[in-house]
Structure 1
């Protein structure tokens, strides 16, 4: 099998920092874009006159980015990281510019899909490139920094989105990507020149890529839209679900028979990979319970504004950054990694239980800090560690595919988590509203349009509705704690291999 062509000379610390700066900037652009857009969605729908199709602005990006994540990983193994990352940046920038120029909702949805094609590569390749230049024992430190970038984007995005939408226009949330992307292109063009350039005669598994994209797109549509836009028992959902499963079976059958599979199935024979990927998926579900639904809880139940809710989430971001960066440094110092996700998930479970039993503490700045900082630390200790564990366990020629697979399962878990928590929240609120004598109030209207719907109710009915939402959010946080416990139990089976001290170029 042809191997990578590279000069095999180790990177200096200065070169590593230059590489890290370029990929971190590209990842910040992609991570922040998702949260920026969410804030501006109502304004986009009103401006383009198509509120009913608004969810597709998010869904189009999610489907494209998730389906292409493992493909980017394999292509970077075949053609080299620099070329594939820069293609992803160009696609993302082209999609951003077209989104800013969109004149209709259909155009915006299509261009968001194009933007997602680039976004999937930015998220996947950032972790892979760090794995190319840093020894596994030191890798956790840099993976932690990237985790901190993601945490920062989770709160900075909504704040910037609200600022651009209110002071300028929603078009600027896409235009701001152009200077950031241009800087990322310049930095990566210089910094990534010495990365592996790929194999001599790459063979692309086009059929495998098509089968995987079709399967993931079909199943993600079912998970994200089923029960909300389309009934679970509708022919569309049932048909797409069956079609997605059939494509997935065909993909597995095909991947066992090709020389360069998109997702190498032998990876699933590696115990660390087999445990880490479901842990990442379930942990991502618990992560999104905080990032997506805590702001909703603050705005709907406690009556805080969009900006105030973003500020109240800063302790969560600080905690995630501290957990990711601090955990990476401790891994580099100790050479051990298994203990950190165990401790992190234990913290997350405990703090979600506190929110589930007394969710109103999130509205008090002092109590919010005491709960959300440990929650963030716990969540920050999980994702980067699992990436380090997988990269340390796989062969170097599969580094891109393995790292992208971790990102793929993280995206799947996040999407499934948002859908699951949304369905549970809607069901529980409906049940509580019926018990309170308000069966005609649709929870989805409140979730989509905010407190303006509740403001039209009489005071007594408004109080009953707020109590229903408060109780449902507490149920949601208890569910997040239960999922965190499941992830914790799975982590106990993670094999801890000695972290290699040699850099990839020295091996």
Structure 2
């Protein structure tokens, strides 16, 4: 059996990998495309005061939908669930393409978020059954790399259509790509192992409400520190929102630990001494610290004196480090070492960024961002593979003589894999809210804002280095 990168393209696998990566790429591009489109869209349909809600109404349903991935696979077959997710995304994108007002555009963004969150959640859950275990790390790296590609393609796609005065064309293009993904599903996922019949599990209403509540609070608190002229009251509201959201997430853990509770997290998360909880926490830290990329172009222009285009290139330095790190790490292996080193690279990168926030130090900023991105990339594929194994460890090509009674059930494996995306979405919201508060604390002093942001994220990365000591066991 080929366990290298060529193994992902072996007959019977390439179609599944292509479809799953394609769905995540759609979600990733759409996450970043609106930043360059919205000025043109607002000029035509109005609604400038709702500008910040374009991201909020996208990420909130995406987070909730990703939490329901396991439920979707319990109700529908893999192919039907994936087609419904891609079709939902296409419908939302089509609504955006024809939106006559900001209100309609926001409806489309919410529908897109629901479809995209389910696409991303299904990617890891189905990858687990589409590939043998020895390819999970490389498969996770390939899926995660789509976020780096999306960061590059999204702004470019939006910029080209916005420059031509045809902002709706970007959404039309994505509708077409979405339909291609839908058409590719029957062939691409035809060999994904079907789920055996199982008893219908209760709907995890309590967990979904807590997840959605945390995402909603983070979104609203982020709005309190968005834009210019943020005062002490806005900072206080945002900081309070962070505290409330963390309390809701603690309540989620307490709720899911109850015997007989309908859960969105796998039972192994709560096993005393087990590594799965640490895997999720470390992954959340790494994704959360990547939220700084939204502010890098701002610092590049105001503090570094860069032209907008060069400030934009500086902004993708972290994403480049992420992609390079995960491809190299997945190729080399040595998962335990990679998981331990990843957060430390983040600490080093943010430490360098914190002490070099002066005009003329742009090269050092790029080095610091690359280090932080490498930290995420080096650890991520091994953390994702460890999480996939945490709820159920057997892929399609594992030893058939193993006793099936030794395997966790498919529902637990689906929860473990889908929780990767749910935690990713929550970490994005947490990181964005934290970053907004840190930047707002600096007020009109751009250098102070940068120091607060990068220094704060460095402290968070230290916490990730601590949780990685336990998470290494799962790599």
- TM-score (normalised: structure 2): 0.84
Cα distance, 1:303 vs. partner? 4.0
Give, in whole Å, the separation in 1 of the partners of 2:249 and 2:147.
34
Measured on the aligned residues, the alpha-carbon RMSD in Å equals 3.0
Cα distance, 1:47 vs. partner? 2.5
Instruction: Kindly name which structure, 1 or 2, has the bigger radius of gyration based on alpha carbons.
Output: 1
Cα distance, 1:156 vs. partner? 2.4
Cα distance, 1:214 vs. partner? 2.8
Cα distance, 1:192 vs. partner? 0.3
Residue 356 of structure 2 is matched in structure 1 by 358
Within the candidate set 346, 349, 352, 2:347 is matched to 349
Give, in whole Å, the separation in 1 of the partners of 2:437 and 2:389.
37
Give, in whole Å, the separation in 2 of the partners of 1:277 and 1:246.
13
Task: Label 1:121 to 1:227 Cα distance change in 2 as closer, same or farther (>3 A).
Answer: closer
Cα distance, 1:104 vs. partner? 1.3
Residue 296 of structure 1 is matched in structure 2 by 298
Give, in whole Å, the separation in 1 of the partners of 2:332 and 2:360.
30
Secondary structure, in 3 states, of the residue corresponding to 1:281?
Answer: helix
Within the candidate set 379, 388, 391, 2:385 is matched to 388
In the alignment, structure 2 segments of 5+ residues that lack a partner are 1-6, 226-232, 394-409
Within the candidate set 285, 290, 308, 1:287 is matched to 290
Task: Label 1:225 to 1:391 Cα distance change in 2 as closer, same or farther (>3 A).
Answer: same
Larger RCO: Structure 1 or Structure 2 (Cα < 8 Å, ≥ 6 residues apart)?
A: 1
Cα distance, 1:100 vs. partner? 1.1
Residue 461 of structure 1 is matched in structure 2 by none
Deviation by residue 1:369-422 (Cα, 9 ceiling, x = unmatched): 544333322221122221111122322512221111121112111111111110
1:428 aligns with 2:442: yes
Deviation by residue 1:85-137 (Cα, 9 ceiling, x = unmatched): 11110000000001111111111112211111101111111122222122323
Residue 340 of structure 1 is matched in structure 2 by 338
Residue 455 of structure 2 is matched in structure 1 by 478
Cα distance, 1:159 vs. partner? 2.4
Within the candidate set 196, 206, 209, 1:211 is matched to 206
Secondary structure, in 3 states, of the residue corresponding to 1:381?
Answer: helix
Give, in whole Å, the separation in 1 of the partners of 2:467 and 2:277.
10
Give, in whole Å, the separation in 1 of the partners of 2:52 and 2:458.
28
Cα distance, 1:212 vs. partner? 3.3
1:267 aligns with 2:302: no
Cα distance, 1:204 vs. partner? 4.7
Give, in whole Å, the separation in 2 of the partners of 1:38 and 1:141.
31
Cα distance, 1:227 vs. partner? 6.7
Is the contact made by 1:279 and 1:491 (CA closer than 8 Å) also made in structure 2? yes
Within the candidate set 398, 405, 413, 2:427 is matched to 413
Give, in whole Å, the separation in 1 of the partners of 2:16 and 2:211.
31
In the alignment, structure 1 segments of 5+ residues that lack a partner are 1-9, 434-467, 500-507
- TM-score (normalised: structure 1): 0.79
1:28 aligns with 2:25: yes
Within the candidate set 152, 173, 177, 1:176 is matched to 173
Task: Label 1:49 to 1:362 Cα distance change in 2 as closer, same or farther (>3 A).
Answer: farther
